[in-house]
Amino acid sequence: MTLTTSPYALRPMTVEDLPQIAEIEGESFPSSWPSAAYKRELQRNNLARYVVATRRDMPPRARSGLGRVVDGLKGKLGRAPEPAPEYVAGFIGVWFMVDETHIVTVAVRASERRRGVGELLLLAAFDLSREKGLPALTLECRVSNVEAQALYEKYGFQRLGIRKRYYTDNNEDALIMTTPSTENPPYAARIDELRRLHRERWGVESAGLGRSGSDAELPTGKGDA
């Protein structure tokens, strides 16, 4: 079977993406992290990784105000401006803990939902965890978010318990979910098969997940994966 090419690509989140991240968070969560928190994570936290899914068939977005100022200065110096930010369809963030990868946030732009983007980002989290040699993934999910729970259970996440009144915006409980060990051959084969099925349906994405950052303490988690 010849697989099609997905319009989506994966890459590390950058500071230039933050205006779009704020848009997506506003569509997805009752409360959001400030852009300054993401900027601190991207620049200082070596224990965190943030990945965006960009859509290659959409026009680039306008540069931020600071970006336009920098471009103006470069123009005066005879240097080429930075390229406009790519259109961001969704993003995921993980923290690398002692023996597991913790998914701290994941969100997809409202107009891009039900196109396999959330699943693509979840597969990226599995890749990052394997890259780090960590045997399991864990997350918290609102008890009311049954659609997300169905996706996580499809990928083998199991319900471990409840964190009472975890979400401060409405005091909603959080469901704790974790995977079996990804070093378990049958479970690893299950993830590989789900990846194959995803690519058959949605196409093969391009990925360049890279790495950046330096050591820093973890901030308080958003906990809205």
What does R_g of the chain's alpha carbons equal in angstroms? 18
Indicate if 50 belongs to the active site: no
Indicate if 152 belongs to the active site: yes
Q: How far apart are CA 165 and CA 205, in angstroms?
A: 38
E strand spans, the chain: 5-12, 48-55, 88-96, 101-108, 137-142, 158-167, 172-178, 204-207
Residue tagged active-site, from 8, 87, 152, 167? 152
Q: CA of 60: how far to CAs of 8, 17, 45, 83, 118, in Å?
A: 14, 11, 28, 9, 21
Instruction: Return the closest-CA partner of residue 152 out of 132, 134, 179, 131.
Output: 179
Instruction: Return the closest-CA partner of residue 12 out of 212, 159, 221, 193.
Output: 212
Residue tagged active-site, from 86, 112, 119, 140? 140
Q: Which residues are catalytic?
A: 140, 152
